[in-house]
Amino acid sequence: MTAQLSKKSEAWSARFSEPVSDLVKRYTASVFFDKRMAEVDIQGSLAHAEMLAHQKIISTKDYEDIQRGMAQIRAEIAEGKFEWLLDLEDVHLNIEKRLTELAGDAGKRLHTGRSRNDQVATDIRLYMRAAIDDILGLLREFRLALLDLAEANADTILPGFTHMQVAQPITFGHHILAYVEMFGRDAERMADCRKRVNRLPLGAAALAGTTFPIDRERVAKALGFDEVCRNSLDAVSDRDFAIEFCAAAALTMTHISRMSEELVIWMSPRVGFIDIADRFCTGSSIMPQKKNPDVPELARGKTGRVNGHLIALLTLMKGQPLAYNKDNQEDKEPLFDAVDTVIDTLRIFADMARGITVKPEAMRAAALQGYATATDLADYLVKKGLPFRDAHEAVAHAVKVCVDKECDLSDLQLDELKNFSPLIEQDVFDVLSLEGSVAARDHIGGTAPAQVKAAIARARAALAIAAV
């Protein structure tokens, strides 16, 4: 096990005549949060060492010693035996010091032609690439679950709302497909962000590049990067890719939050459109009758922290001159928390989407209130030759009478309806029915059950072939 190392053994200590205080040490250290990048740090170091050996900057023997040492470090970390030392500041110095203990001078040669500045930028990018791939997988799973829910409810009618007031009848399948669209765009954004994440900073060294004959393309290939960062100053300093990720994450959470808001409303006993499986809900410690939708409520709340992380990273970056500044160490905690929050939330939502019970009778009853087919009556009159504004006015009169009589448009008799327009005939009752109303919106993007089924088929086909 690694012993506590003296100040003298720190990478930069010879320059200093007094040690930093414990408080400063704690203030400047990042090891307790950046150690989660240990695996990618080792991967980056091994690719760098292989390149150094290939370029004859270090010997093959050194490379082999580094490989052996790193294998042991990996094992120690996996077994929880690796001793992380605050004195060694961050994940990079902790691993390098342990490597030097295990591999001697070979360990000390690893950092040739490299700086922690390009090393940390590489680690973050590797870490984020894996996180994005996980998120893309979860967004796919979630959309598949939503498609199943939409398919089972392609014909289920509920009121669509504007201003939180009943507007027009829609199908529940159509409503759910709106979220499939949102989460589809979230996946596109993540995939697009990945392109800019997947570029290699290593080789930029501290800021200006290195005097050693390195082969950056070789390292990029070994680590699966699409290309190398083309400017060393930019490579070590900008974190725009992390900001972009947080922006995409904030939008994903915003969509989750909108959906959560609806789930909470739908599950409220006053509305009663759905039930959510017990495993996503909790009871009250005092009110025995309660079953609270904690998961959607918490997800709605957690959206705030991801939005906050986006602002934190933007603010972190805005005042920084080129090139690397220690400010950048502050990028990790917001970034990691954004990753954790989005991953946990999507994982739960993909499961929860399959734990939603729809209550079609309650949805239907709600759609029958609020004159949801008033627009259909206006459209009917337009089709019979009345200008739309006149039709709108005639229906407004009809609605007013229904409000007074406390009945629905479809409850009026034909001769009563004729009072509002002589154009109204027996066939009006087809458009006043909920089924007639939704079926009539039969075009791409419309709520007709036939269109919902076609949209589901298109979405499934796209998910089957597309990378995202």
Under the rule (CB under 6 A), what is the footprint of ligand ARG?
30, 34, 90, 116-117, 120, 324, 326, 328-329
- Given the complex with ligand ARG, which of 99 and 120 has the nearer CB atom? 120
Give the containing element (helix H, strand E) for 228: strand 227-228
Give the integer Cα–Cα distance in Å for 174 and 176.
5
- Given the complex with ligand ARG, which of 30 and 153 has the nearer CB atom? 30
Give the integer Cα–Cα distance in Å for 131 and 245.
10
Give the containing element (helix H, strand E) for 296: helix 294-318
Smallest separation, CB 37 to ligand ARG (Å): 9
Query: Considering Cα of 159, then 164, then 166, then 170, what sign does the dihedral take?
Result: negative
Q: Are 409 and 374 in contact (CB under 8 A)?
A: yes
Smallest separation, CB 233 to ligand ARG (Å): 14
Q: How crowded is residue 56: how many other Cβ atoms within 10 Å of its Cβ?
A: 9
Q: How far is CA 451 from the centre of its chain?
A: 28
Strands (E), 272-400: 274-276, 356-358
Q: Are 244 and 313 in contact (CB under 8 A)?
A: no
Residue from 21, 163, 285, 443 carrying the catalytic annotation: 163
CA-CA-CA-CA dihedral for 18, 19, 23, 27, to nearest 10: 110
- Given the complex with ligand ARG, which of 30 and 373 has the nearer CB atom? 30
Smallest separation, CB 34 to ligand ARG (Å): 6
Give the integer Cα–Cα distance in Å for 155 and 190.
33
- Given the complex with ligand ARG, which of 97 and 116 has the nearer CB atom? 116
Give the integer Cα–Cα distance in Å for 78 and 60.
27
Q: Is 284 a catalytic residue?
A: yes
Q: What is the DSSP letter of 285?
A: S
- Given the complex with ligand ARG, which of 117 and 373 has the nearer CB atom? 117
Give the containing element (helix H, strand E) for 145: helix 116-152
Smallest separation, CB 96 to ligand ARG (Å): 12
Give the integer Cα–Cα distance in Å for 148 and 456.
9
Smallest separation, CB 122 to ligand ARG (Å): 11
Residue from 6, 59, 268, 284 carrying the catalytic annotation: 284
- Given the complex with ligand ARG, which of 180 and 339 has the nearer CB atom? 339
> In Å, what is the CA distance from 463 to each residue of 73, 181, 184?
40, 12, 9
Active site residues: 163, 284
